[in-house]
Amino acid sequence: MSTVQTIWPPGTECVARYNFPGTTDQDLPLCKGDVLTIIGVTKDPNWYKAKNTVGREGTIPANYVQKREGVKSGGKLSLMPWFHGKITREQAERLLYPPETGLFLVRESTNFPGDYTLCVSCDGKVEHYRIVYQNCKLSIDEEEFFENLMQLVEHYTKDADGLCTRLIKPKLMEGTVAAQDEFSRSGWALNRKELKLLQAIGKGEFGDVMVGDYRGTKVAVKCIKHDATAQAFVAEASVMTQMRHNNLVQLLGVIVEEKGSLYIVTEYMAKGSLVDYLRSRGRTIIGGDCLLKFSMNVCEAMEYLEANNFVHRDLAARNVLVSEDNIAKVSDFGLTKEASSTQDTAKLPVKWTAPEALREKQTFSTKSDVWSYGILLWEIYSFGRVPYPRIPLKDVVPRVEKGYKMDAPDGCPPAVYNIMKQCWTLDVNMRPTFNALRDSLQDIWTKELYL
């Protein structure tokens, strides 16, 4: 059987699977884990011309690198693919058939609600071990205690420690994919040993953000320790693998630890969040050209998301970060979903969310992101003020629904205020696209209407 070799086009991203010292001057030496961009083919189909992240170019052997791909199965990625929820003892035994020593799954206990059961196939039989939940810890033998199921499974994978066998192979829940395997397969798994965590730089809702060093590059690392939260962030990371734009905070990779911690490694944005940047510098330091540049940066990122049918859902100045060279980049893809999916209203940032998205059976769309973008523009031109000042939160939505729009921030150029008002058009269909907004902003820039 012959296999057809696909040729990687220029721009394809790859990761080195092995070290390659190079044999001639034309070769590009590789260290396992290096990220490379293909820049062309050579006469020999087994070799490519490539460039590494510090700009060095040379030829590389195709079989030493792995193509980096977007992780598409975000919703199915699981940190606990062996967890089958509420199934009966009999169903568990059917799932572990045919017998294979070490094949295991975890289910919720039917006899003892709140506890779990570890089911393991061993010498043709299935053993069911009750996992008790006591004082916020899990245990099988009441000697070893664990914070979560992942830590428990990790422990018994290394050593049987009293069980009939050590855990060898997880029985995957139908429709799930092991997150770790998927990030490795697609070239996004980083090596924990090469990451140094240096100091905390921020507190997210669910975990610390640290500055770190990954193979000599300064990086930002979102560290998520709690297993259930980590599961939610797996989806965020998988969205980020599909996105590449100079105005989106770039994902560098992911580390999934067996005991349930997740590290999301991104480019380091030296000047922190846009809202803090604006508040701390203020109008004496930041000029109109800089405000318009930030507005254009965000608009370009959003135009890219629009073209790729992705909805951000939480666009706000707190979710935009500023790089060392003053480029604004959109971050926090936590809520980003492919366009037209719906979500729970309880946790929405009311002042930033479009009225139609706040209403019952709301549907977010790129157009609701346009509304939020208008609020973000207002934040930029008011140097980080909280929107709808002096209006109690409970009155915001009723007033907005009746057509109320915020006044222009002090000193805001009329052309920019005009764009804000267009973004706050109640009729979704009449709201501009990001593509049209980018044209309008470009026009303001060219005609120097920001002065």
Please, which residue, 150 or 249, has the CB nearer to ligand AMP? 249
**Cα-to-chain-centroid distance, residue 68:** 16
Q: Indicate the residue whose CB is closest to ligand AMP.
A: 202
Q: Does residue 449 belong to the site contacting ligand AMP (CB under 6 A)? A: no
Kindly report the number of other CB atoms within 10 A of residue 399's CB atom. 12
Of these residues, 34, 314, 332, 369, which one is catalytic? 314
Of 331, 336, 365, 425, the residue at the interface with ligand AMP (CB under 6 A) is 331
How far, in Å, CA of 88 to CA of 93, rounded? 9
Shortest reach from residue 249's CB to ligand AMP, in Å? 5
How far, in Å, CA of 45 to CA of 64, rounded? 13
How far, in Å, CA of 51 to CA of 48, rounded? 10
Site string for ligand AMP, 196-235 (x = CB under 6 A): -----xx-x----x----------x---------------
Tell me how far CA of residue 313 lies from CA of 15, 305, 361, 373, 419, in angstroms: 31, 11, 15, 10, 20
Mark the segment that binds ligand AMP (CB under 6 A) among 240-248, 266-274, 406-414, 432-440.
266-274
Scan residues 142-201 and list those touching ligand AMP (CB under 6 A).
201
Shortest reach from residue 353's CB to ligand AMP, in Å? 17
How far, in Å, CA of 153 to CA of 170, rounded? 10
**Which string of b and e fits 89-123 if b means at least 16 CB within 10 Å?**
eeebeebbeeeeebbbbbbbbeeeeeebbbbbbbe
Burial of residue 245 (CB within 10 Å: 0-12, 13-18, 19+) is middle
How far, in Å, CA of 296 to CA of 377, rounded? 10
Q: Does residue 249 belong to the site contacting ligand AMP (CB under 6 A)? A: yes
Phi/psi of residue 271, each to 5°?
A: -100, 10
Please, which residue, 31 or 200, has the CB nearer to ligand AMP? 200
Indicate if 314 belongs to the active site.
yes
Q: Does residue 251 belong to the site contacting ligand AMP (CB under 6 A)? A: no
Please, which residue, 45 or 272, has the CB nearer to ligand AMP? 272
The residues facing 104 across adjacent strands are: 120, 170
Please, which residue, 40 or 272, has the CB nearer to ligand AMP? 272
Please, which residue, 164 or 209, has the CB nearer to ligand AMP? 209
Phi/psi of residue 227, each to 5°?
A: -60, -45
Please, which residue, 269 or 416, has the CB nearer to ligand AMP? 269
Q: Does residue 272 belong to the site contacting ligand AMP (CB under 6 A)? A: yes
Shortest reach from residue 74's CB to ligand AMP, in Å? 18
Shortest reach from residue 312's CB to ligand AMP, in Å? 13
Q: Does residue 269 belong to the site contacting ligand AMP (CB under 6 A)? A: yes
Mark the segment that binds ligand AMP (CB under 6 A) among 5-13, 159-167, 265-273, 280-288.
265-273
**Vertex 138 angle, CA 136 and 141, to 5°:** 135
The set of residues, in sequence order, having a beta carbon less than 8 Å from that of 446 and lying 6+ positions away, is: none
List interacting residues with ligand AMP (CB under 6 A).
201-202, 204, 209, 220, 249, 266, 268-269, 272-273, 321, 331-332
Residues catalogued as catalytic: 314
